[in-house]
Amino acid sequence: MLMMDIPLIDQHRDTVAQQKSDARRLRGAALSAVAFLALLWWVHLFQHLFGDFPALALHPRELAGLVGILTAPLLHGSFAHLVSNSLPLLLLITLSLSVVPRAAKRAFAVIWLFSGIFVWAVGRDSGHIGASGIDHGLMFFLFVIGIVRRDRPAVAAALIAFFLYGGMVLSILPNDPQISWEYHLGGALAGTASALLWRRLDPAPMRKRYDWEDEDDSDAGMASDTTLEPVRPNDVPVLWQRQETPTGQVLPFPKRQPPRNE
Protein backbone atom coordinates (compact mmCIF):
# COMPACT_ATOMS: atom_id res chain seq x y z
CA MET A 1 0.00 0.00 0.00
CA LEU A 2 1.45 3.34 -1.07
CA MET A 3 1.10 6.14 1.45
CA MET A 4 1.66 9.76 0.56
CA ASP A 5 2.26 12.44 3.15
CA ILE A 6 0.03 15.19 1.75
CA PRO A 7 -0.62 18.27 3.89
CA LEU A 8 -4.20 18.14 5.13
CA ILE A 9 -6.63 21.00 4.88
CA ASP A 10 -7.65 22.40 8.23
CA GLN A 11 -11.33 23.14 7.70
CA HIS A 12 -12.09 23.89 11.36
CA ARG A 13 -8.92 25.59 12.48
CA ASP A 14 -9.03 26.92 16.03
CA THR A 15 -6.43 29.67 15.88
CA VAL A 16 -6.29 30.26 19.62
CA ALA A 17 -5.90 26.56 20.45
CA GLN A 18 -3.25 26.15 17.76
CA GLN A 19 -1.27 29.10 19.08
CA LYS A 20 -1.39 27.69 22.60
CA SER A 21 -0.23 24.30 21.35
CA ASP A 22 2.67 25.85 19.42
CA ALA A 23 3.65 27.92 22.45
CA ARG A 24 3.65 24.85 24.72
CA ARG A 25 5.81 22.91 22.28
CA LEU A 26 8.25 25.82 21.95
CA ARG A 27 8.51 26.16 25.73
CA GLY A 28 9.09 22.42 26.10
CA ALA A 29 11.82 22.49 23.43
CA ALA A 30 13.54 25.47 25.06
CA LEU A 31 13.41 23.82 28.51
CA SER A 32 14.94 20.65 27.08
CA ALA A 33 17.77 22.67 25.56
CA VAL A 34 18.35 24.54 28.82
CA ALA A 35 18.38 21.26 30.77
CA PHE A 36 21.03 19.79 28.48
CA LEU A 37 23.15 22.92 28.75
CA ALA A 38 22.78 22.82 32.54
CA LEU A 39 24.16 19.27 32.47
CA LEU A 40 27.16 20.39 30.40
CA TRP A 41 27.90 23.31 32.72
CA TRP A 42 27.52 21.14 35.81
CA VAL A 43 29.98 18.59 34.39
CA HIS A 44 32.47 21.33 33.53
CA LEU A 45 32.15 22.83 37.01
CA PHE A 46 32.90 19.36 38.37
CA GLN A 47 36.00 19.27 36.12
CA HIS A 48 37.08 22.68 37.35
CA LEU A 49 36.79 21.65 40.98
CA PHE A 50 38.18 18.14 40.84
CA GLY A 51 40.36 18.13 37.74
CA ASP A 52 39.98 16.72 34.23
CA PHE A 53 39.06 13.14 33.56
CA PRO A 54 41.23 12.00 30.64
CA ALA A 55 39.91 8.46 30.97
CA LEU A 56 36.48 9.72 29.87
CA ALA A 57 37.79 11.31 26.67
CA LEU A 58 37.44 9.52 23.35
CA HIS A 59 40.70 7.84 22.34
CA PRO A 60 40.54 6.43 18.79
CA ARG A 61 41.16 2.73 18.26
CA GLU A 62 41.71 2.02 21.94
CA LEU A 63 39.49 -0.41 23.77
CA ALA A 64 39.37 1.82 26.84
CA GLY A 65 38.50 4.76 24.58
CA LEU A 66 35.13 3.27 23.69
CA VAL A 67 33.66 4.77 26.85
CA GLY A 68 34.36 8.18 25.33
CA ILE A 69 31.65 7.59 22.74
CA LEU A 70 29.17 8.23 25.55
CA THR A 71 31.10 10.63 27.79
CA ALA A 72 33.28 12.77 25.50
CA PRO A 73 30.50 15.19 24.41
CA LEU A 74 29.95 16.09 28.07
CA LEU A 75 33.55 17.23 28.61
CA HIS A 76 35.14 20.51 27.53
CA GLY A 77 38.69 21.73 27.69
CA SER A 78 37.92 25.25 28.92
CA PHE A 79 35.12 27.67 29.69
CA ALA A 80 35.69 29.30 26.29
CA HIS A 81 35.24 25.92 24.64
CA LEU A 82 32.00 25.34 26.55
CA VAL A 83 30.65 28.83 25.79
CA SER A 84 31.36 28.43 22.07
CA ASN A 85 29.17 25.30 22.02
CA SER A 86 26.43 26.50 24.38
CA LEU A 87 24.64 29.09 22.23
CA PRO A 88 24.47 26.93 19.07
CA LEU A 89 23.17 24.01 21.12
CA LEU A 90 20.54 26.19 22.80
CA LEU A 91 19.16 27.46 19.50
CA LEU A 92 19.51 24.29 17.42
CA ILE A 93 17.97 21.97 20.02
CA THR A 94 15.07 24.38 20.49
CA LEU A 95 14.45 24.67 16.75
CA SER A 96 14.63 20.95 16.07
CA LEU A 97 12.39 19.91 18.97
CA SER A 98 9.79 22.58 18.19
CA VAL A 99 9.57 21.89 14.42
CA VAL A 100 10.15 18.13 14.07
CA PRO A 101 10.18 16.71 17.62
CA ARG A 102 9.90 13.02 16.74
CA ALA A 103 12.69 13.06 14.19
CA ALA A 104 14.82 15.37 16.34
CA LYS A 105 14.85 12.99 19.32
CA ARG A 106 16.05 10.12 17.17
CA ALA A 107 18.52 12.32 15.33
CA PHE A 108 20.03 13.58 18.58
CA ALA A 109 20.78 10.03 19.73
CA VAL A 110 22.15 9.00 16.32
CA ILE A 111 24.37 12.09 16.09
CA TRP A 112 25.77 11.47 19.57
CA LEU A 113 26.58 7.81 18.95
CA PHE A 114 27.60 7.88 15.29
CA SER A 115 29.92 10.89 15.64
CA GLY A 116 31.69 9.15 18.50
CA ILE A 117 32.01 5.87 16.59
CA PHE A 118 33.29 7.77 13.55
CA VAL A 119 35.97 9.53 15.60
CA TRP A 120 36.97 6.29 17.32
CA ALA A 121 37.37 4.60 13.92
CA VAL A 122 39.15 7.30 11.87
CA GLY A 123 40.20 10.02 14.31
CA ARG A 124 43.71 11.15 15.10
CA ASP A 125 45.58 9.58 18.02
CA SER A 126 44.56 12.10 20.64
CA GLY A 127 41.89 12.72 23.25
CA HIS A 128 38.71 14.08 21.65
CA ILE A 129 36.17 15.93 23.82
CA GLY A 130 33.38 18.45 23.37
CA ALA A 131 29.82 18.72 22.08
CA SER A 132 30.76 20.38 18.81
CA GLY A 133 29.91 17.19 16.93
CA ILE A 134 26.35 17.45 18.24
CA ASP A 135 25.82 21.07 17.22
CA HIS A 136 27.27 20.36 13.76
CA GLY A 137 24.98 17.37 13.43
CA LEU A 138 21.90 19.37 14.43
CA MET A 139 22.72 22.18 12.00
CA PHE A 140 23.04 19.75 9.09
CA PHE A 141 19.92 17.92 10.28
CA LEU A 142 17.80 21.08 10.27
CA PHE A 143 19.17 22.30 6.96
CA VAL A 144 18.61 19.02 5.11
CA ILE A 145 15.21 18.28 6.62
CA GLY A 146 14.01 21.73 5.58
CA ILE A 147 15.02 20.96 1.99
CA VAL A 148 13.41 17.53 1.81
CA ARG A 149 10.19 18.34 3.74
CA ARG A 150 9.56 21.75 2.16
CA ASP A 151 6.85 22.79 4.58
CA ARG A 152 6.97 26.29 5.99
CA PRO A 153 8.10 25.55 9.59
CA ALA A 154 10.90 23.22 8.45
CA VAL A 155 12.09 25.64 5.75
CA ALA A 156 12.06 28.55 8.24
CA ALA A 157 14.10 26.53 10.76
CA ALA A 158 16.57 25.51 8.03
CA LEU A 159 17.06 29.13 6.96
CA ILE A 160 17.60 30.30 10.54
CA ALA A 161 20.09 27.51 11.28
CA PHE A 162 22.06 28.05 8.07
CA PHE A 163 22.02 31.85 8.35
CA LEU A 164 23.47 31.75 11.88
CA TYR A 165 25.73 28.70 11.67
CA GLY A 166 26.33 28.04 7.99
CA GLY A 167 30.05 28.44 8.65
CA MET A 168 30.00 24.96 10.16
CA VAL A 169 30.13 23.64 6.61
CA LEU A 170 33.77 24.73 6.42
CA SER A 171 34.74 23.37 9.84
CA ILE A 172 34.12 19.74 8.84
CA LEU A 173 37.45 19.87 6.99
CA PRO A 174 40.93 19.80 8.60
CA ASN A 175 41.95 23.30 9.62
CA ASP A 176 43.14 23.80 13.19
CA PRO A 177 45.08 20.91 14.78
CA GLN A 178 43.52 21.80 18.14
CA ILE A 179 39.98 21.28 16.78
CA SER A 180 38.48 17.83 16.28
CA TRP A 181 37.26 18.17 12.69
CA GLU A 182 36.59 14.42 12.81
CA TYR A 183 33.85 15.05 15.38
CA HIS A 184 32.41 17.78 13.16
CA LEU A 185 32.40 15.58 10.08
CA GLY A 186 30.90 12.61 11.92
CA GLY A 187 28.13 14.78 13.33
CA ALA A 188 27.40 16.30 9.91
CA LEU A 189 27.12 12.86 8.31
CA ALA A 190 24.85 11.60 11.08
CA GLY A 191 22.62 14.69 10.92
CA THR A 192 22.26 14.45 7.15
CA ALA A 193 21.42 10.76 7.28
CA SER A 194 18.89 11.30 10.08
CA ALA A 195 17.11 14.02 8.11
CA LEU A 196 16.82 11.82 5.04
CA LEU A 197 15.77 8.77 7.02
CA TRP A 198 13.12 10.38 9.24
CA ARG A 199 11.95 13.31 7.08
CA ARG A 200 8.35 11.98 7.16
CA LEU A 201 8.29 10.83 10.77
CA ASP A 202 6.54 14.02 11.92
CA PRO A 203 3.16 14.77 10.32
CA ALA A 204 2.97 17.62 7.85
CA PRO A 205 1.39 20.81 9.22
CA MET A 206 -2.21 21.57 8.40
CA ARG A 207 -2.65 23.76 5.34
CA LYS A 208 -4.75 26.85 5.78
CA ARG A 209 -7.93 26.97 3.69
CA TYR A 210 -8.99 30.32 2.28
CA ASP A 211 -12.54 31.60 1.84
CA TRP A 212 -12.38 31.66 -1.92
CA GLU A 213 -11.80 27.89 -1.94
CA ASP A 214 -15.22 27.34 -0.36
CA GLU A 215 -17.24 28.99 -3.13
CA ASP A 216 -19.95 26.85 -4.71
CA ASP A 217 -19.10 25.76 -8.21
CA SER A 218 -22.67 26.30 -9.36
CA ASP A 219 -22.69 29.87 -8.12
CA ALA A 220 -19.38 30.47 -9.79
CA GLY A 221 -20.78 29.08 -13.04
CA MET A 222 -23.85 31.32 -12.89
CA ALA A 223 -21.72 34.33 -12.21
CA SER A 224 -19.51 33.55 -15.14
CA ASP A 225 -22.54 33.14 -17.44
CA THR A 226 -23.91 36.57 -16.56
CA THR A 227 -20.70 38.55 -16.39
CA LEU A 228 -18.18 36.89 -18.63
CA GLU A 229 -20.15 35.18 -21.43
CA PRO A 230 -20.94 37.43 -24.43
CA VAL A 231 -24.49 37.85 -25.64
CA ARG A 232 -25.61 35.38 -28.29
CA PRO A 233 -25.66 36.75 -31.85
CA ASN A 234 -29.44 36.25 -32.17
CA ASP A 235 -29.99 38.79 -29.41
CA VAL A 236 -27.96 41.53 -31.09
CA PRO A 237 -30.15 43.97 -33.06
CA VAL A 238 -29.21 44.51 -36.67
CA LEU A 239 -29.16 48.22 -37.37
CA TRP A 240 -29.55 47.97 -41.13
CA GLN A 241 -32.60 45.69 -41.07
CA ARG A 242 -35.89 47.51 -41.83
CA GLN A 243 -38.58 47.00 -39.31
CA GLU A 244 -41.83 45.44 -40.53
CA THR A 245 -44.13 47.84 -38.71
CA PRO A 246 -43.34 51.49 -39.23
CA THR A 247 -43.22 53.41 -36.05
CA GLY A 248 -42.96 56.96 -37.47
CA GLN A 249 -45.17 59.29 -39.58
CA VAL A 250 -44.37 60.45 -43.11
CA LEU A 251 -45.10 64.16 -43.70
CA PRO A 252 -45.88 65.24 -47.32
CA PHE A 253 -43.91 68.20 -48.60
CA PRO A 254 -45.38 70.36 -51.45
CA LYS A 255 -43.55 70.57 -54.69
CA ARG A 256 -41.26 73.45 -55.05
CA GLN A 257 -42.51 75.94 -57.70
CA PRO A 258 -39.97 77.28 -60.19
CA PRO A 259 -39.35 81.02 -59.97
CA ARG A 260 -41.33 83.24 -62.38
CA ASN A 261 -39.62 85.59 -64.78
CA GLU A 262 -40.81 89.19 -64.61
Per the domain annotation, does 3 fall within a domain? no
> Is-contact 152 104, C-beta < 8 A?
no
Q: Which residues contact 57 (CB under 8 A, 6 or more apart)?
A: 65, 68, 71, 72, 75, 127, 128, 129
Residue 218 lies in a domain: no
pLDDT of res. 213: 55
The total number of structural domains in the chain stands at 1
153 occurs within a structural domain: yes
> Is residue 165 a part of any domain in this protein?
yes
Report which residue type is found at 62.
E
Predicted local confidence at residue 197, as pLDDT: 97
* Segments forming the whole domain that contains residue 109: 16-203
- Which pLDDT score is estimated for 35? 97
Alpha-carbon span 20 to 15, nearest angstrom? 9
* CATH number assigned to the domain comprising residue 186: 1.20.1540.10
Residue 175 · residue 181 · CB < 8 Å: yes
State the 10-residue block means of pLDDT for the chain, 262 residues long: 46 70 92 97 93 90 94 94 95 96 97 97 94 97 96 95 95 90 96 96 76 54 54 62 62 71 58
In a domain, 120, yes or no: yes
Asked if residue 178 belongs to a domain, the reply is: yes
